[in-house]
Amino acid sequence: MSIPYAASALVAHVAIIPIIKNIYPVITTIRDSLKNDDIIYELDERDIEASLVVIEGLVKEINSKKLPNSILKALKNLEKTLSSVQVLLEKIHIKSIEHTQKYFSSWRQLDVSKETKELIVQFNLLEKRFNLFHKVLLIYKESLK
């Protein structure tokens, strides 16, 4: 493993928790401002908050251990996906704020369909990458026996 990649994987390992902590308030704000919207349905359907709690807990548990290259790569991929989710949620949040500040906002409907579709793709990717991360951890655990 190259030194720059090892360093970036370690940064991803450490950066996952702050990203998750930044996602929570954005989700709460979106829930408060967009009561009956497709985005709320997707957040509920995917149970994203519970997934984030599990990912955060797992990363905290393995944070101090020396990890093999495969786990570092899986963590880096998780970090990239979480970062994309955060950016999309923040876009939705900003759009909702801008929408409420416009005249006749109660007569118009906020259109975040593009962001919602992108978010669904990222949620699916997050799930796949977390499952892969979990499998890699299980294989690593087996190799230690």
36 CB burial (10 A radius; 0-12, 13-18, 19+):
exposed
Give residue-wise pLDDT tens across range 105-129.
677 788 888 999 999 999 999 999 9
* Residue 72 CB contacts under 8 Å (≥ 6 apart), including other chains: 1, 6, 9, 10, 12, 13
Q: Which two tokens stand for residue 84?
A: 């994309």
Q: Which two tokens stand for residue 52?
A: 């984030």
Instruction: Give the predicted TM-score (pTM) of the model.
Output: 0.82
Kindly list the domain boundaries of the chain, sorted by start residue.
Answer: 3-144
Give residue-wise pLDDT tens across range 48-59.
999 999 999 888
Give residue-wise pLDDT tens across range 42-88.
889 989 999 999 999 888 888 656 788 888 899 999 999 999 999 99
